[in-house]
Amino acid sequence: MADTNSNKTRFFDYSLFNRILKLALPFKASFIGATLLAIGLAILQPLQPLLVQQTVDKAILNFDGNLLMKYSIILVALLCVNVVFRYYFIFVTNFLGQSIIRDLRVKVFKHQLGLKLRVFDKTPIGTATTRTINDVETINNVFSQGLINIIADLLMIITILIIMFVSDWRLTLVILTTFPMLIYATYWFKESIKKSYQKVRTQVAKLNAFLQEHISGMYVIQVFSAEKKELEKFKIINDEHRNANVDAIWAYSIFFPIIEIITATALGLMVWFGAGRVINNATSIGVLIAFIMYINMLFRPLRMLADKFNVIQMGMVAAERVFNVIDLKAQIKNTGTKTANTIKGAIDFKNVWFAYDGENHVIKDVSFSLNAGETLAIVGATGAGKSSIINILNRFYPIQKGAMFIDGVNVEEYQLESLRSKIGLVLQDVFLFSGSVMENITLRNKNISEAAVYAAAKEVGADVFIEKLPGGFDYKVMERGATLSVGQRQLVSFIRALVFNPSILILDEATSSVDSESEILIQNATEQLVKNRTSIVIAHRLSTIQNADKIMVLDKGEIKELGTHAELLALNGYYKNLFDMQFSTAKVA
């Protein structure tokens, strides 16, 4: 999901534009309706000056009051119809744009849900957020402010020019002598604003990424008193964002005054040449007045066409970035056909190799077996590969060599969603979403009843602290569970795992960063969770895993020792050293 280098985007990519247009296929009725309204406006608006011309020449100059009243009524009626058309045109085009991006956002987010976690490891959250929100919103402008508006403006320009040539072709040619200047100014503006918008989009992504990362890591910033340094970094990024916008503003501040000068020049030439024709009876006063109105109606859309073309261009830049996300072939392989609803939980790893980047292996030729209902404890130094075992068993990342089996079936033969529904995971760093405690436990799964949640909370001993919260299970948890302690968040995750009733339970250092009181509750909860379940427990505290059926010692991705607590102590090797080191430290403390 890296940024697309917009500077390499072709002047106009027809295949990309065609793909954007296909987004409107589900809303053909709205698109056709907006186009018909655009045609109607192109006909209605030029009729107003033509009607004024007839009013002046036939009613006012002939002092015909009845005809004047008749033309006035028609003019008012025409204005009313024009207002109605304009209202529906604005509404339908914006409705079309919003409908398209609503579906597109869902499509982008759905695609992201199926991507390998490696993609998110390499992509800043702010950048991914920009793709789903800001860039998709820019695509909306293609339909609500760009394409159909350009069609409407071009149709109106063509209609006005036809009427002007029919009315007085000589006067029309005089006015058109200013068009070369207008075209050059428009081209310069288009190129300038395109470069500016590209810079703005890039800076918005940088700003979003910086804020997302630093707001999430505010605790670390304040702990290490890094506020001033990070503020200076933010000021630099913010200044770059401002400068990109100022460049765009500068282009506007130059372009629009130039257009006003060109418009005034065209008007002056028209008055000078047209007045002479009126004096010589070559044209009428009504035509002259109508041409003044035509000039304003002609130059206004021409002035805005460059901006609207840039809207399309920026929409295409944004669309290219969004389509790059949608086209990203990094989905987790999900070709399995078997369901895991009845699995017992026997696990077999056979010569498994795994590397996050595909090259530097963090799991090397790992093989072990675990019977259904048994508990495997994994110990080892930081970076030994303990969490990687969990990641590949859940199929968050694909392995490079070897195979993993559950109940004798290769994990890749199971439907991904079905497999994960039978594996419960309790992490050290518990992630809670904004919402109630109940919603964080059930994850809005309607198949889980409140009674089941209450029973699970009581079973793990978490009901006491939850009932003391304001509102109990309806207590609103802030983002990432910031209003709960580490131990409380951990207990909530235990309830979550229990109510989903997994066949395989994974506990990743669940007690490594909690206080003694919470640790006792969590250990009791662990005992309840592992009953009749295949369990894999990762722990730094060896006192919590001595009763495990098997203990695996990992070092640099390799299995160094595997056996029971007593068997590993008897080996007098890696495990014995870890055990002696931890308990001698505890005695000193």
Q: Which SS3 state, helix, strand or coil, does residue 291 take? A: helix
Distance CA 471, CA 285 (A): 79
List, edge to edge, every strand of the sheet that includes 363-370. Answer: 363-370, 347-354, 401-406, 409-410
Query: What DSSP string describes 541-555?
Result: -GGGSTT-SEEEEEE
Distance set, CA 467 to CA 440, 462, 470, 474, 519 (Å): 15, 9, 8, 10, 19
Query: Residue 186 has which token pair?
Result: 């428009």
Q: Torsion over CA of 322, 328, 333 and 334, rounded to 10 degrees?
A: 30
Query: Residue 355 has which token pair?
Result: 């590397």
The number of beta carbons lying within 10 Å of the beta carbon of residue 296 is 12
Distance CA 489, CA 386 (A): 22
User: What is the reported pLDDT for 1?
Assistant: 54
Distance CA 133, CA 115 (A): 18
SS3 string, 376-442, reads EEEECCCCCCHHHHHHHHCCCCCCCEEEEEECCEEHHHECHHHHHHCEEEECCCCCCCCEEHHHHHH
With a CB cutoff of 8 Å and minimum separation 6, the contacts of 315 are 20, 138, 139, 141, 142, 146
What are the residues facing 538 on neighbouring strands?
Answer: 378, 508
User: What is the reported pLDDT for 141?
Assistant: 85
Q: b/e map of 227-256 (b: 16 or more CB within 10 Å)? A: eeebeeeeeeebeebeebbebbeebeeebe
- pLDDT, tens only, 418-454: 898 888 888 777 778 888 889 888 888 888 888 988 8
Query: Residue 34 has which token pair?
Result: 């907006």
**Radius of gyration for the alpha carbons in the chain, expressed in angstroms and rounded:** 35
Q: Which SS3 state, helix, strand or coil, does residue 507 take? A: strand
Q: Which SS3 state, helix, strand or coil, does residue 511 take? A: coil
Distance CA 118, CA 354 (A): 13
Q: b/e map of 163-173 (b: 16 or more CB within 10 Å)? A: bbeebbeebbe
User: What is the reported pLDDT for 225?
Assistant: 80
User: What is the reported pLDDT for 518?
Assistant: 61
Using a 10 angstrom Cβ sphere, with 0-12 exposed, 13-18 middle and 19 or more buried, the burial of residue 469 is middle
Cβ 587 vs Cβ 581: under 8 Å = no
Distance CA 449, CA 428 (A): 26
Can you state the angle between helices 227-279 and 179-216, rounded to 10 degrees? 160
Cβ 475 vs Cβ 482: under 8 Å = no
Query: Residue 584 has which token pair?
Result: 């001698």
Distance CA 541, CA 434 (A): 31
Distance CA 518, CA 83 (A): 68
Residue identified by tokens 């309830």 is: 495
Distance CA 45, CA 22 (A): 30
Query: Residue 190 has which token pair?
Result: 């288009």
User: What is the bridge-based pairing of β-strands 375-379 and 363-370?
Assistant: unpaired
What are the residues facing 142 on neighbouring strands?
Answer: none
Cβ 213 vs Cβ 126: under 8 Å = yes
User: What is the reported pLDDT for 8?
Assistant: 45
User: What is the reported pLDDT for 512?
Assistant: 53
With a CB cutoff of 8 Å and minimum separation 6, the contacts of 460 are 491, 494, 495, 498, 521, 524, 525, 528, 529
pTM (2 d.p.): 0.68
With a CB cutoff of 8 Å and minimum separation 6, the contacts of 547 are 375, 565
Domains of the chain, first to last? 25-326 (1.20.1560.10), 347-588 (3.40.50.300)
- In the predicted model, residues of the chain with pLDDT beneath 70 are 1-12, 121, 123-127, 219, 479-481, 509-519, 521-522, 525, 528, 583-589
Cβ 9 vs Cβ 316: under 8 Å = yes
Distance CA 305, CA 310 (A): 9
3-state helix, strand, coil in the chain (%, to 5): 65, 10, 25
**Half-sphere exposure of residue 215, counting CA atoms within 13 Å on the CB side?**
11
Residues in the chain: 589
User: What is the bridge-based pairing of β-strands 401-406 and 550-555?
Assistant: unpaired
Query: Residue 501 has which token pair?
Result: 């009733």
